[in-house]
Structure 1
Amino acid sequence: MNARTKPSFLLYGANGYTARLIIDLACSVGLTPVLAGRSATRLKPLADATGLSYRVADLQDAAALDALLVDTPVVLHCAGPFSKTAAPMQQACLRTGTHYLDITGEIDVFEYGMTLHNEALRQNVMLMSGVGFDVVPTDCLARYLHDQLPDATHLQLAFANDGGSLSHGTAQTALEGIGGGGKVRTRGRIVTVPNAHKTITVDFGDGSPRPCMSIPWGDVSTAGHTTGIPNVETFIGSSGGQIRLAKLGNYLGWLLRSKAVQSFLQKRVTKTVTGPDVSTRQRARVHVWGKVWNAQGKTAEARLHGPEGYTLTALTALSITQKVLDGDWKAGYQTPAGCYGADLILEIDGVTREYVR
């Protein structure tokens, strides 16, 4: 990214873990975010520490949101859980003609955004969810594999974030979906399946193939949109214990979704989960693997390697924000690789891609 001053963008949810990474990186490359959220008490100390301006608006106050966005070219929305926060911000963006970006990986949020496509076209606004680790690298790998095998009917994607840990916001979002089962795309439709309903062994290129269990990753939605491939499964590198625990959730889903258990777990997250520190982020790496095949059994397989997931999220989110500020955008609902192509991820320092076979 070029280190020159750009028009301001709005960073909503500025107090979150990932947003703080975005603020630090934005300032270093000449982008000037306006900090935003619902609490002046929390925003002011951050604004004072960074020398940035701030604005306050509650997502449930439509008039306040419209006033917040009236002179804003693009919002980078980082306030989770996005299942609760994305819709009001997207609607405000449509009302005010503001481009919308977020860092979600939640399937339902992607699917909801697709329903707004025609309205976004009418308002000449771009809506793009998943501009972070969810789902830029996986979406780009899906697009790359589809480009190699355009008649592919099946896609599998897997990732492993070596040495990393969860942020508070990511953990909160994960808790919301706990006990809800998995998701896959089958014959073009997203369907619910049991947790960890399938396991595969993946060689991420480090010489140590590892087990991966199926999870409801955002590409179940976005990869279908980006590539048109009708059958999509997504996986995460896992230990045997993690796989057994996930499968246990198939029998305890009713308990894990109860208000009492959710409240207890949310309080534990608030007390104990803070996100990886600087040394962990510098040390950790993310690995992505993908495979496609067609009706005749022909296959294509590739891998990506890059910075740790939260670092990668900050880098890709700001890369796309800068593109929008430069006028490089398309109206309507868009996916990252659908709009910017398979090589978008290669614009990020430290990312490599290899075609396996």
Structure 2
Amino acid sequence: MTSNEANGSSKRVAVYGAGGHTGRFVVAELLRRGLDVVAVARDAAKLDPLLQSSDRVAVRAATVDDGGSLDRAFDGVTVVINCAGPFLDTAGPVASAALRVGAHYLDVTAEQPSARATIDTFGAIAGEAGLVVMPAMGFYGGLGDLLATAAMGDWDAADEIRIGIALDSWHPTAGTRITGERNQARRQVVSQGSLVPVTLPPREMDWEFPAPVLVRPVVEVPFSEIVTISSHLRAAELHNYLSRNALEDVRSDATPAPKPTDETGRSAQRFLVEAVASKGGIVRRVAVRGRDIYAFSAPLVCEAAARLLDHRAETGGAMAPGAMFEPIEFLAALESADSDFRIIQR
């Protein structure tokens, strides 16, 4: 036990991968919310020295190939947030350890196979324990799921749900590049009511986004929101599109990593995400805009974690964000947590 753990709380949040790019944003956001944090890394000595000295942070070391180290790291926490990719390698061990110690599990994966495996493997176990397992609670995954649920409103089914993601640039982290190399599975979409492999070559179209983005060429690139949305919303067609310029950025070896532009470490990157639901000729749209896709995952997943600290056991299991939280109210809470984030309803 470190000296920081002497002031332990009964409601602490563990962050696995606390030393990574997204993990650092998540730890900072939890502390901003006044929550006690257990910062977990493979090598705790490499964590920010400020964490080592904070009386709100306990620092612990653990690796995914040592289940005992994970159990010890998560002992006494209420929620575990996994920020360490590739999630195909980390989600299983980290989620398993979280459930063993009686903690809820969240991650920020964009990987469809990882999100699906987490739901299939741990949903029933979590439900029996009154715990929540929620993969893909990040920019890719959770945000699109909340927007799609908001666009659906009171509909019990839709003819089509489309998610459009416009980025002014995508400077990938080293972790994003490693994850892309690790995840070679064929991506899936919903067509004619069933999950099927995405069409190759992928569909392209011009998407008319709200101002200030307006018309942008997009390419079909399904992320983990396809898995989460299809787990609780019914649509004959479900597709996800990414602006072509962002896809070209992330595919280029010459694109540099994100560059911090302020004291928080955020980059200047801007995003706009829109969900469009259609049924019988009626179209509903909900969109949001914000800054830095990696940094934004922090208020998103931390808002979910904060709500799970007071979660009641009757609604355990594998949960999609839109199935568990009222989406517009949740998104409105993010506006309060992130000054760059805004809801745009059309």
TM-score by structure 2 length?
Answer: 0.84
Deviation at 1:122, TM superposition (A): 0.9
Structure 1: runs of 5 or more not aligned:
247-264
Distance of aligned partners of 1:58 and 1:281 in 2 relative to their CA distance in 1, 3 Å threshold: closer
Q: Which residue of the partner structure matches residue 107 of structure 1?
A: 112
Q: 1:159, 1:231 → 2: CA distance? A: 17
Q: Which protein has the bigger helix share? A: 1
Distance of aligned partners of 1:241 and 1:59 in 2 relative to their CA distance in 1, 3 Å threshold: closer
Deviation at 1:45, TM superposition (A): 4.1
Q: 2:284, 2:295 → 1: CA distance? A: 28
Distance of aligned partners of 1:18 and 1:231 in 2 relative to their CA distance in 1, 3 Å threshold: same
The alignment partner of 1:155 has SS state of strand
Q: Which residue of the partner structure matches residue 323 of structure 1?
A: 307
Q: Which residue of the partner structure matches residue 254 of structure 1?
A: none
Amino acid in structure 2 at the alignment position of 1:275: P
* 1:298 equivalent in alignment to 2:282: yes
Deviation at 1:49, TM superposition (A): 5.8
Post-superposition CA distance 1:121-163 (Å, at most 9, x none): 1111110112221223211110012115433132111112224
**Which segment is superposed worse, 234-243 or 205-214?**
234-243
The alignment partner of 2:164 has SS state of strand
Deviation at 1:18, TM superposition (A): 0.8
Distance of aligned partners of 1:112 and 1:240 in 2 relative to their CA distance in 1, 3 Å threshold: closer
User: Equivalences for 1:146-157 in 2 at 5 Å?
Assistant: 146-147=152-153, 149-157=155-163
Q: Which residue of the partner structure matches residue 183 of structure 1?
A: 188
- Among 92, 95, 104, which residue is 1:90 paired with? 95
Distance of aligned partners of 1:148 and 1:289 in 2 relative to their CA distance in 1, 3 Å threshold: farther
TM-score by structure 1 length?
Answer: 0.82
Q: Which residue of the partner structure matches residue 16 of structure 1?
A: 20
Q: 1:348, 1:339 → 2: CA distance? A: 16
Distance of aligned partners of 1:78 and 1:273 in 2 relative to their CA distance in 1, 3 Å threshold: farther
Identity of aligned residues (%): 22
Aligned Cα RMSD in Å?
A: 2.8
Deviation at 1:42, TM superposition (A): 2.0
**Which segment is superposed worse, 181-190 or 134-143?**
181-190
The alignment partner of 2:311 has SS state of coil
Post-superposition CA distance 1:167-217 (Å, at most 9, x none): 222222123235x44421224432223555101211221263011000121
Is the CA contact (8 Å cut-off) linking 1:164 and 1:308 kept in structure 2?
no
Amino acid in structure 2 at the alignment position of 1:128: M
Q: Which residue of the partner structure matches residue 354 of structure 1?
A: 344
Q: 1:140, 1:161 → 2: CA distance? A: 19
Q: Which residue of the partner structure matches residue 289 of structure 1?
A: 274
Distance of aligned partners of 1:273 and 1:99 in 2 relative to their CA distance in 1, 3 Å threshold: farther
Q: 2:13, 2:247 → 1: CA distance? A: 43
Is the CA contact (8 Å cut-off) linking 1:171 and 1:273 kept in structure 2?
no
Post-superposition CA distance 1:282-330 (Å, at most 9, x none): 6432201222223x34332332222331221111111111111233673
Q: 1:134, 1:213 → 2: CA distance? A: 15
Q: Which residue of the partner structure matches residue 250 of structure 1?
A: none
The alignment partner of 2:158 has SS state of coil
Amino acid in structure 1 at the alignment position of 2:324: C
The alignment partner of 2:182 has SS state of helix
Q: Which residue of the partner structure matches residue 248 of structure 2?
A: 242
Count the aligned residue pairs: 327
Structure 2: runs of 5 or more not aligned:
1-8
